[in-house]
Amino acid sequence: MIRRLSPAALGLTVLLALAGCGADSSADASAKGQVTLTIGDQAKTLQTILAASDALKGAGYKVKWAEFEGAAPLYQAVQAGAADTTYSADLPALQALSGGVRFKNVAALKNDGTHVGIVVRKDSGIDGVEDLKGQKVVVSSAKGSVSEYLLANVLQQNGLKYSDVKVQYLLPTDAQAAFASGRIKAWATFGVYQAVGLEQGGRLLVDGADGRVSGYGFIGASDKVLADSAKKTALGDFLKRLGTALEWTSTHQDAYAKAIETRNGADASVAKTLASAAYSKVLPINGDVNTTVQDVADLMNGIGVLDPNVDVAKSADTSVLK
């Protein structure tokens, strides 16, 4: 749970890198009265998209990146004031809200759900979801991840209970090493880690397409940022530029894949897979988003993973993205 994480752990997980508009350092920008947004990111995803599309060119504020390998430490950073914004799939955002992190979701992201999946070893003997009964399933990265929702949902769809599997939580890099060495058979994961797992002797058992996950993600902002009119205005502009950048990735998949390969160290096939599964647009948070994600919250609350439950509509600030 987010509430149990220690702020002292941030020193081991946060990697801060300056990027964005012009050559000023953030200290210089502050001295000139220029707003600096510290944007939370996972595995350089947003940073790569915005750099490759050049969507931040001409922005009247600085962007500093706070990079993490998973959602849990990112939300911890927001809680500790080390990042201004959040970026995750729907369930990690719900888990953070349930855990007391003070932020609001300000924009929705949408993709087809194929970015999350359950990967099994080819020699695991697991040929269908029903074969997971009695098995250990590693979930990345922590309790309340989108990978865990996929697992819970497909178990329910196949007549199984969540208690029919033995869940172990591991950060993606640790799980990747264990999966590659054959120490685990089944791994619920996402993004680059899913793509790498498939390259390291894995087979896709099921992914999040066809409504098995909502396909929604969120950009959120800390309460402190939302109370700062200059930062809030800058964030509104950033969201519009992010929307432009995501549209660029949809129409320039080859160039985007090359950027992933160059900036993230992924090989060509992994980069191509990631480029094809990216979020495609930034959306206002509306009734359809709230209803769909509330179903996610209710399912996870019902199996004891999300406690207390979250009122999704009340957890949004719709005034930032206009």
Contact status, residue 190 vs residue 273, Cβ threshold 8 Å: no
What is the distance between the terminal CA atoms of the chain, rounded to a whole angstrom? 32
What is the pLDDT at residue 233? 97
pTM here is 0.84
What one-letter code names the amino acid at 219?
I
What is the pLDDT at residue 9? 35
Describe the chain by its helix, strand, coil percentages, rounded to 5.
Answer: 45, 20, 35
Token pair belonging to 220: 């959120």
Instruction: Map residue 6 onto helix, strand or coil.
Output: coil
**Tens digits of pLDDT across the chain (322 residues):** 343 333 333 333 333 333 333 333 344 444 456 899 999 999 899 999 999 999 999 999 999 999 998 888 999 999 999 999 999 999 999 999 999 999 999 999 999 999 899 999 999 999 999 999 999 999 997 888 899 999 999 999 999 999 999 999 998 899 999 999 999 999 999 888 898 999 888 999 999 999 999 999 999 999 999 999 999 999 999 999 999 999 999 999 999 999 999 998 888 988 888 888 788 899 999 999 999 999 999 999 999 999 999 999 999 999 999 8
Q: Is residue 125 classed exposed, middle or buried when 0-12, 13-18 and 19+ CB atoms within 10 A define those classes?
A: exposed
What is the pLDDT at residue 32? 56
Contact status, residue 70 vs residue 141, Cβ threshold 8 Å: yes
Q: Report the alpha-carbon distance of residue 126 to residue 198 in Å, rounded.
A: 15
Closest CA to 42 of 67, 19, 64, 77: 67
